[in-house]
Structure 1
Amino acid sequence: MSTAATSTVPRLVTPQFVLLGSAGLAYFLADGMLVPAVPRYVAGQLAGGNLAVGLVVAAFSLSALILRPWAGRLVDRHGRSIAMIGGGITFAASVAAYGLVDSVGALSALRLLTGVGDAFFFVGAVTAMSDLAPAERRGEAISLFSLSLYAGLAIGPPIGEGLGGLAGFGTVWLVAAGSALVAVLLALRVGETREPTTDDPGDQPVRLIPRAAVVPGLLLVALVWGMAGFLAFVPLYALDLGLPGAGFVLFGFAAIVVVIRSVGARIPDRLGAVRCVRVSLLCSTIGLALIGGWPTVPSLVLGTAVLGIGVALGTPAIMMLALDRAGAGERGAVMGTVSMSIDLATGLGPATFGLVAAGLGRGSGFLAAALVAAAGLALAVAGGRRTASE
């Protein structure tokens, strides 16, 4: 009887899924190497000031943000593989060329091109992941795939810093480009995952922002908004509370996310997308309110833990919600729009936090972020009621 029950559970971790996760790891490792290297290169080799550093770093996010919906449409029309391969090659070529320019303007132009590559590779990869995941295991698939992002962005920066110190920035650019090309080779092995369909996408009405992505996109903005502000300002807030630094707080936050996304990968599937989104936004609201409302070290630690639970559960659940509402022919567009919400919140969260903190203090910045998460929770509750009544 147990054998029959086990056989009804569709398989998730196939060789193709492992190859896709490996491609994601190689790509995010390349991306992670650039995180510390680019600002240091601008400030050191190019003798740029704070404005120049901000311009070069932001150029990547700008093009990636704008192009994700278009990348999603290309993925739906022409396949996931072409987006991953083309995006990975564009990323690698632009990064390899960093060492050939000697001005902030030229490097900013290359960074825009790097963002183009990121938009297409990421949307292609996350859509391919949704193709390979059985519907009842999508939350688990998203959780596991996200570990490649966290691993790459955890390991990549130390590698970038080490290579830059030992062999110079030129070596960092070439190694990062090589890692991106490894991702391309692995993507070639993954192949095309788009499901065959009898519909001609050219005959369908085209929506750049599909309806299925609007509410999940707003929910993801509400979730990531507070997380982005937390990551940007908790190092300074820890000093305000008399701590020597925020290293153990940030490590604890990351550890909670990684443990839940790995050991607890099936939690979103078992709870269901709607319920899990509500739990995640409730945790985010409480966690941010604890940090900002009670400026003590125990509240910071407890609030960080609760926020970590919310973030760990929220992204997989929100993407599940989006995929459940999307047809097979618009998965790319939906994933492109939903992932664009991450870029948007990552930019707006720290900016608004800073504005509030400048006038009312850093604790108030966390409380403002808690209000944004609470607004997302209200939207999730209202959306769930509307769905139940239909």
Structure 2
Amino acid sequence: MKRPPPTEPLFTRQFIALGVSDLAYFTAVGVAIFALPLYVTGPVGGDEIGAGFAFGVFAVSALVLRPFAGRITDVYGRLPLLLGGTLLAAVSLALTALTEDLFVIIALRLLAGVAEAAFFVAGFAALADLAPANRLGEALSYNSLGLYLGIAFGPPVGEVLVQTWGFCIAWLGAAALALLAAALTLLIGETREDTSADPSPDLSPRRFIHRPSIPISIGFITSLIAIGGFLTFASLYAVRIGLSQASLALFVYGGVVVVCRIVFARVPDRLPSLPLGAAALGVIGAGLGLVAIWQTPVGLLVGVVIMAVGVSFSTPAFFSAIFSTATRSQRGAASGTASAAIDLGLGLGPIALGLIAGPFGIPWAFGVGAAIAVAGGIWTLLLQRRTRQRQPVDVA
């Protein structure tokens, strides 16, 4: 009886260090997610439109730089951008504590976008380096725990810091977490393999965009527009509908994603990526639509749970589909192109939905975000159908 081939290890020292570094970095981001809209509409004196713009503008610099960051990771390695991104994030967060001027905050958010581009792209490229090829979806699920645990625990940490010591300490606390993430990147070290023998034409320095990723990324963008709008206005909306703990909705969101990513970690490797992504978009739309219609604390939390279940599968599904189109030497470029979708979604979502929330109210913004996610699900299903039709048919 033939024995099955041994399974390559996933939980190596570097893999764990990458996950813990993600946790520290995204906990800092979680503090900012909670604090920023309240800071802009409070001490800064802005409104929902200003909060949406301040939240989403980081994506402008991140979007421009992500493809370049991807190419840099392929040429010079993952570690320089992992370390540089975390240090820039710490600077941006610390300086936010020193100002109540909206224009300065926007400038610092642009700097945060540079940090996001460097850290996120290099992190995903390192993850692809460290994960066994047949366990990439599982690796994405486990690695994303750092992100969603950060989003789950960052807002309550931010709420405690703001209520106890004020916004200044909250921003400085977030900066300290980013510095911790920087220290942890040194434990990861360099993960880039020697690609000098790879004959791929994409080794040209002029190739910053991984074109096969673009159609798949369009569907991914729609999920992030919906999620970006929710993250921007969740704490502000919770206050307005009378939820006693404003950070609870964000905590539930992150917690549900974490549980689902653990329980269903291997699902993305066992199901076709594009149909799974389309289904996830439909669930995200249903959850956010429920939040828009059922305007009570219970309605918010129920809708968040449904939406979070969809989010649990969307990122692993879309990134698995994207990385399946890339060779080893293209991983940085594919990561940069695909994660540019994150910038478009998290940038367009807060800004565009903020323009809706200003005159019409936050529930209307949530409703539009839900419709966009459903439209993305339809696009992804059509993409899957077109891909299947292009495959050769065996007529033997």
Name the residue aligned to 1:314: 314
State the one-letter code of the partner of 1:138: L
Give the secondary structure class of the aligned counterpart of 2:97: helix
Q: After alignment, is 119-128 or 30-39 more displaced? A: 30-39
CA contact 1:73–1:333 (8 Å) conserved in 2: yes
Name the residue aligned to 2:383: 379
How far apart are 1:43 and its partner, in Å?
4.1
Q: State how far apart, in whole Å, the 2-side matches of 1:94 and 1:352 are.
A: 25
Q: State how far apart, in whole Å, the 2-side matches of 1:126 and 1:257 are.
A: 19
CA contact 1:140–1:268 (8 Å) conserved in 2: yes
Name the residue aligned to 1:148: 146
Please tell me whether residue 209 in structure 1 is matched to residue 237 in structure 2.
no
Q: State how far apart, in whole Å, the 2-side matches of 1:175 and 1:302 are.
A: 31
CA contact 1:127–1:335 (8 Å) conserved in 2: yes
Name the residue aligned to 1:328: 328
Q: Cα RMSD (Å) of the superposition?
A: 4.0
Mapping of 1:5-16 within 5 angstroms?
Answer: 5=4, 8-16=6-14
Q: Deviations over 1:155-180 (max 9, x none)?
A: 11121221223223332232222211
The count of corresponding residues between Structure 1 and Structure 2 is 385
State the one-letter code of the partner of 1:152: G
CA contact 1:288–1:369 (8 Å) conserved in 2: no
One of 99, 103, 120 as aligned partner of 1:122: 120
How far apart are 1:22 and its partner, in Å?
0.4
Name the residue aligned to 1:169: 167
How far apart are 1:263 and its partner, in Å?
1.3
After superposition, the Cα gap between the structure-2 partners of 1:143 and 1:174, relative to the gap in structure 1 and judged at 3 Å, is same
State the one-letter code of the partner of 1:273: S
Name the residue aligned to 1:89: 87
State the one-letter code of the partner of 1:177: A
Q: After alignment, is 138-147 or 312-321 more displaced? A: 312-321
After superposition, the Cα gap between the structure-2 partners of 1:234 and 1:134, relative to the gap in structure 1 and judged at 3 Å, is same
Q: State how far apart, in whole Å, the 2-side matches of 1:229 and 1:173 are.
A: 22
How far apart are 1:303 and its partner, in Å?
7.7
Give the secondary structure class of the aligned counterpart of 2:324: helix
After superposition, the Cα gap between the structure-2 partners of 1:92 and 1:249, relative to the gap in structure 1 and judged at 3 Å, is closer
One of 130, 133, 139 as aligned partner of 1:132: 130
Gaps of 5+ in 2: none
Q: State how far apart, in whole Å, the 2-side matches of 1:68 and 1:164 are.
A: 32
Gaps of 5+ in 1: none
The percent identity for this pair of structures is: 38
One of 189, 192, 214 as aligned partner of 1:191: 189
Q: Deviations over 1:129-187 (max 9, x none)?
A: 11101111000011111111111111111212212232233322322222111111111
CA contact 1:353–1:369 (8 Å) conserved in 2: no
Please tell me whether residue 21 in structure 1 is matched to residue 19 in structure 2.
yes
CA contact 2:24–2:180 (8 Å) conserved in 1: yes
Choose between structure 1 and 2 for higher RCO, CA contacts under 8 A separated by at least 6 residues: 2
Q: State how far apart, in whole Å, the 2-side matches of 1:157 and 1:188 are.
A: 27
Name the residue aligned to 2:218: 218
Q: Deviations over 1:285-326 (max 9, x none)?
A: 6x4698599989999999876654433222102111111111
Q: Deviations over 1:244-278 (max 9, x none)?
A: 89999877765543332111100111224345335
How far apart are 1:56 and its partner, in Å?
3.1
Give the secondary structure class of the aligned counterpart of 1:261: helix
After superposition, the Cα gap between the structure-2 partners of 1:229 and 1:389, relative to the gap in structure 1 and judged at 3 Å, is farther
Q: State how far apart, in whole Å, the 2-side matches of 1:243 and 1:162 are.
A: 18
After superposition, the Cα gap between the structure-2 partners of 1:129 and 1:165, relative to the gap in structure 1 and judged at 3 Å, is same
Q: State how far apart, in whole Å, the 1-side matches of 2:380 and 2:283 are.
A: 12
After superposition, the Cα gap between the structure-2 partners of 1:78 and 1:171, relative to the gap in structure 1 and judged at 3 Å, is same
Mapping of 1:94-109 within 5 angstroms?
Answer: 94-101=92-99, 103-109=101-107
Q: How does the TM-score come out when normalised to structure 2?
A: 0.81
CA contact 1:284–1:307 (8 Å) conserved in 2: yes
CA contact 2:73–2:332 (8 Å) conserved in 1: yes
